[in-house]
Amino acid sequence: MSIVTRKIGLSLGADICWPIAYEEILKLLDLSIPMDGDSVTFEVERVTIEPFDLRQANPYDVVIDRLTHWYTSRREWIKKAVLMDGVYVFNNPWSIQSMEKQTSYCAMMRLGLPIPETWLVPPKEYEQTPDLKPTLERYARMFNLDEIGDRLGYPMYMKPYDGGGWVGVSRIDDAAALKAAYEQSGRHVMHLQRAVDPHDLFVRSVGLGPQVRTVLYDPGAPLHDRYTMETDFMDADDRALLLDMVLTINSFFGWDFNSCEALRGEAGVWYPIDFANPCPDSQVTSLHYHFPWLIKASLRWSLFNAAVRRQRALNLNWAPYYKIADTDRSYREKLAAYAAIAHDVMETDRFEEFCQTHLSHLDEVADQWFATDTAKEAVRKKVTALYPEDEIEEFTELFWERIQQYRKDEPPGAPGTTRVAVPRSSTVTT
Ligand SMILES: Nc1ncnc2c1ncn2[C@@H]1O[C@H](COP(=O)(O)OP(=O)(O)OP(=O)(O)O)[C@@H](O)[C@H]1O
Ligand SMILES: [Mg+2]
């Protein structure tokens, strides 16, 4: 039996706390997994930024990436790694680049998901280029914003078609506010979207491969309180529906790690409003209570993919989803059928078996690590990077207490924590 080492690369930016947790827990796991007559061990390394030869081989089996969406040379390094070396990357770089909010709305509307009524309006201002004037003179039609407002109805939201980080988002209650917001929108291409109003629940679901955590979200709270610590806020049917929704979205776009915001509106309908967030916030300062879950989920999914050297399909395949969309099944039945494709694509059964066989000690090991001084130091380092000097102690304690609360609420062995816990849709199967 020979020892083979799988290499995991962490492609990082300003991240501080989660890579420490990931690296430390991986060390403590002390893995040596029998596989195809070999013994598989793991090495994790932080990817550096340097010149590279396009023909140079990539040493990693899996890369967890947090730079591709904004740092060009890393994006090109990753795309090369996928094209030439078959490296498995969180997330599929092709669809991060091309699938912004607008695209994700259109695709999910095509699958029948209840995206609120949405319009795209041409920008208020343009960068002046030689072709702009003739193009607009010939083809731009005057439009009446009031009419669009009347057709959509108030309240509504104006937000960039490719937005993120709440930049340029405004809530609009009447025609005058709509006009004022458009006047100020500059060169942004904007969506106008009917508000889900009223709504009684706002849930942000974080997906990592087939693992999904649904968190009650409070968008009006300060950043450190937006992910709430509520656990008992919806019933099993709602939860199953959100899981199916998230798996549908993530498998459709090839996103390993993504979050989905959905609001429960009238008649109990869940409206997804923001789900093109591949590589969402992973910092302890936002996730706090949920941070250990994220680290464990990330370890499981990356170790599985590295161990079995899982290859992603070279292209996204949308035809099977469209085929289901074109049947006369109910919406709920379709969603369950899309989720079944997701489980197939993500190989959920194989993943669960891998976790049960080789990572059964993960919950215990992580739980112990989250009680150590090193863990607390990692929290403090992140807090120090973000908070003013006189708040460092207070916020370090706050996030630390919340992590300890998680350890109490979801100790190793608690239902749904020793296993991967991916409840399948209870309603329908394909
Ligand atoms: N259709 C809607 N109905 C109700 N609230 C909405 C709607 N669209 C946006 N919002 C509110 O505005 C916030 C920001 O909108 P959205 O999430 O679409 O933008 P974003 O820039 O992607 O935000 P972030 O990246 O911070 O999640 C949402 O969290 C929600 O509170
Ligand atoms: Mg959002």
Which three-class secondary structure state does DSSP give residue 41?
A: strand
Q: Are the C-beta atoms of residues 413 and 227 closer than 8 Å to each other?
A: no
157-215 confidence digits (pLDDT tens): 999 998 878 888 999 999 999 999 999 999 999 999 999 999 999 999 999 999 999 99
pTM over 0.85: yes
Burial of residue 126 (number of CB atoms within 10 Å: 0-12, 13-18, 19+): middle
pLDDT band at 422 (very low <50, low <70, confident <90, very high): low
95-149 confidence digits (pLDDT tens): 777 788 999 999 999 999 999 999 999 999 999 999 999 999 999 999 999 999 9
Please tell me the predicted confidence (pLDDT) of residue 423. Answer: 52
Residue 6 has pLDDT above 80, yes or no: yes
Distances (CA, A) of 219 to 255, 258, 305: 24, 18, 34
pLDDT band at 68 (very low <50, low <70, confident <90, very high): confident
Distance from Cα 166 to the centre of ligand 2, integer Å: 6
CB atoms within 10 A of CB 134: 9
219-270 confidence digits (pLDDT tens): 999 999 999 999 899 999 999 999 999 999 999 999 999 999 999 999 999 9
**Which residues pair with residue 40 across a beta bridge?**
4, 33
Nearest Cα residue to atom 3 of ligand 1: 195
Residue 64 has pLDDT above 70, yes or no: yes
| CA of residue 242 relative to chain centroid, distance | 14
Q: Which ligand is the nearest neighbour of the Cα of 164?
A: 1
Q: Are the C-beta atoms of residues 51 and 35 closer than 8 Å to each other?
A: no
Residue 419 has pLDDT above 60, yes or no: no
Using the atom order of ligand 1, give the atom closest to the CA of residue 160: 21
Average pLDDT, rounded, for the chain: 94
Please tell me the predicted confidence (pLDDT) of residue 165. Answer: 81
Write down the H helix ranges in 184-311.
223-226, 236-253, 284-287, 291-307
Please tell me the predicted confidence (pLDDT) of residue 166. Answer: 83
* Domain boundaries defined on the chain: 3-98, 117-194, 201-409
Measured distance CA(201)–CA(199) in Å, rounded: 6
Asked if 3-98 and 117-194 have one fold, the answer is no
Please tell me the predicted confidence (pLDDT) of residue 416. Answer: 62
CATH fold for the domain made of 117-194: Dna Ligase; domain 1 (3.30.1490)
Residue 333 has pLDDT above 70, yes or no: yes
Q: Which ligand is the nearest neighbour of the Cα of 116?
A: 1
Class of domain 3-98: alpha beta
Closest of 75, 121, 79, 89 to residue 102, by C-alpha: 121
Nearest Cα residue to atom 5 of ligand 1: 195
